[in-house]
Chain A
Amino acid sequence: MHLLFEPGFFTSGPVHTAVLIGSVTALVSAIVGVFTVIRSQSFAGHALTDVATTGGSGAFYFGITPLVGFIGGGVVGAGAMDLVGVQRVRSRDLATGIVLGAATGLAALFLYLDTTTSATTGATQQILFGSIFTLDPSTVPLVAALSALTLFVIALVYRPLLLSSVSTELAGARGINARAVGLIFMVAMAVAVGLSSIAIGSILSTALLIGPAATSLRLTSSLRSSMVLASVLAVATTCVGILLAYDSSYWDPSSQGLPVSFFIVAITFLGYLFSGLPVVRRRVGRRRGDLEGARAVDVGSRPMSEGTA
């Protein structure tokens, strides 16, 4: 038992909070992430973490609650991306890039003002690499409530969102306003990403949004099953990552432990690489009784050059 769980793992308060918030945000990220990946909006999903961080550093400067800054920043960023043209495949990449550039410029200013006007050191690092072990337990209910709200919104627009993700023309023919649905999704993603950036840091936010979803979309054939698989993968990875990070401080007493983000990202990345191995894909394809099973999942993946004019 002690080989796997170092002493104090089950009784430590910070570990409880970390496991709880980590699992909740991982679950929401995974479900939102499946749509992010099929809509090819990974760049926007990642950029929103940086935009949310800008909001967070602004909140730090103005003395507002960081959570408001993170979520507010993300939502404003999502709106700005929509304004520049994130809804069209052609200009999606560019719209995200322009908003991201402006937001990082603002972040540079806020962080500069934070470090020069207040005596607090560690602002940069705290904002950029927020640690899961230093979470305030009192934020748990708020994080849970906002997560539930995000999932509710996704459930509400599930059908139109799915249809417009697969084919904009088809959605248009059915009378779905693809732009409105896209904007609703972007805002939901911004809230999810803002939550996870403040709770688990911006690195993990992107990792849990894209990793489990991309892996499960390779291994399953239906959207529902890939959402279930992605959620399971995300929560399991988070818990194992927290355990390993906790244990790592006991491996070599002379040095500090490794960060949680390192373990979670490493597991996620290796999982994705593993799911792409020809052996795994062939096996999945055969089980589906579909010769091109492995390929069918990847419909919608385009070469990097496409999507420009």
Chain B
Amino acid sequence: MFTGFMVNAWEIATIVAIVAGVVGFFVVMRGAAFPAHAIPNGAFAGAAGANLIGINPLVGLGVFSVGAALGIGSLSRRGRPDAVTALALVMMLALGAAFLSQSTQYEPEIFSLLFGEVLGVSSGEILPVAILGLVCVAGVLVLYRPLLLTSMVPDIAEARGVKTFRIEMAFLVIVACATTMTVPVVGALLIFTLMIGPPAAARCLTDRPGLAVAGSVIISLVIVWASIAVSYETNWPVGFFVGTLSAAGYGLGRGVAAWRGR
């Protein structure tokens, strides 16, 4: 279980879990679950498009996810954010369907882009993912205070001269960046689950932001490691274990919070 291609899987999953834990904390704090779902899911259309015209899928993913982030952020200013996000998502998916209809081989590709192939990662993929992951975490750390302020008390942040809109855009670009790096290796659905479940569970356990970020990273690491181990033994998809364990982790967090009487 710890030899050959599995080493790559462990390494990449660890990077992804750390990034998802950090970025996810703010996704939950800001109530940005929908954009966090829409950006990775829509971005797979970019990979399909890149596949069609014969360029590197990462370029397509990057262009679509950053484009989606900027589009959702700017259109949300003058409309209902959730409706705008839904429409941006379906527009990207429809483009993806159009790209796929023009290419000939796609069935396994759809499955792997949506659900990931963490057990099939090659060692060459680790370095770019690690670099992009570092960029995401660094971005969150640089913007830590304004992000926290605009998430918790938007009015005070505004009064302090924090540019709420710019912070929102920067945050969505960070989500897009995390998406680009993770979709090819773990799939669109899995990264979303990791950005919601562990941070939500961590927030049930503590009110202190720093502790919650640390807790969210630890929980997501445990979930990912356990999922890979069980998936290796049973041959069932990793996504299934990550999805159910995340929900179970959140349920457990709620249970502990209720038991403590909070």
Residues of chain A having any CB pair with chain B under 8 Å: 37, 40-43, 45-47, 93-94, 96-109, 111-112, 115, 121-122, 124-125, 128-129, 203-204, 206-207, 209-211, 213-214, 218, 255-259, 261-262, 264-266, 268-269, 272, 276, 298, 300-309
Contacts and interface: CB of A to CB of B under 8 A. Distances in A.
Contacts of A214: 79-80, 83-84, 87
Contact of B106 (A125, A209, A266): A125
B111 A269 contact: no
B164 interface: yes
B90 A94 contact: no
Interface string B89-109: 111011101101110001100
Q: Which 8 A-B pairs have the closest CB atoms?
A: A105-B243, A108-B239, A101-B193, A265-B94, A102-B247, A97-B33, A42-B82, A109-B240
Contacts of B93: 203, 261, 265
Nearest to A116: B235
Interface of B: 28-37, 75-76, 78-87, 89-91, 93-95, 97-98, 100-102, 106-107, 110-111, 114-115, 150-152, 154, 164, 168, 189, 192-193, 196-197, 200, 236-237, 239-244, 246-247, 250
Contact of B240 (A40, A41, A105, A207): A105
A99 B246 CA distance: 10
A304 B31 contact: yes
A223 to B, nearest CB: 15
Contact of B246 (A41, A94, A101, A213): A101
Contacts of B100: 129
A101 B87 contact: no
A122 B111 CA distance: 11
Specify the main secondary structure of chain A where it touches its partner.
helix
Residue among B31, B110, B115, B250 with most chain A CB within 10 A = B31
Contacts of A265: 90-91, 93-94
Given A42-B85, A101-B246, A111-B115, A37 B80 contact: yes
A300 to B, nearest CB: 7
B154 A306 contact: yes
A285 B262 CA distance: 47
Contacts of B239: 104-105, 108-109
Given A269-B91, A305-B164, A298 B80 contact: yes
Given A42-B86, A304-B30, A305-B31, A102 B244 contact: yes
Contacts of B106: 125
A245 to B, nearest CB: 10
Contacts, number: 208
A262 B94 contact: yes
Given A97-B196, A259-B97, A262-B97, A122 B168 contact: no
B200 A207 contact: no
What's the dominant secondary structure at chain B's contact region?
helix
Contact of B81 (A47, A276, A301): A301
A111 B243 CA distance: 14
A301 B90 contact: no
Given A94-B200, A261-B94, A272-B87, A108 B189 contact: yes
B86 A112 contact: no
B241 A206 contact: no
A51 to B, nearest CB: 12
A129 B164 CA distance: 38
Contacts of B247: 98-99, 101-102, 105
Nearest to A111: B111
Contacts of B90: 203-204, 206-207, 210-211, 265, 268-269
A96 B31 CA distance: 11
Nearest to B78: A276
A108 B186 CA distance: 12
A108 B241 CA distance: 9
B31 A94 contact: yes
A210 B86 contact: yes
Which residue of B84, B87, B106, B236 has the most chain A CB atoms within 10 A of its CB atom?
Answer: B87
B150 to A, nearest CB: 6
Which one of B28, B75, B90 has the greatest number of beta carbons of chain A within 10 Å?
Answer: B90
A97 B194 CA distance: 10
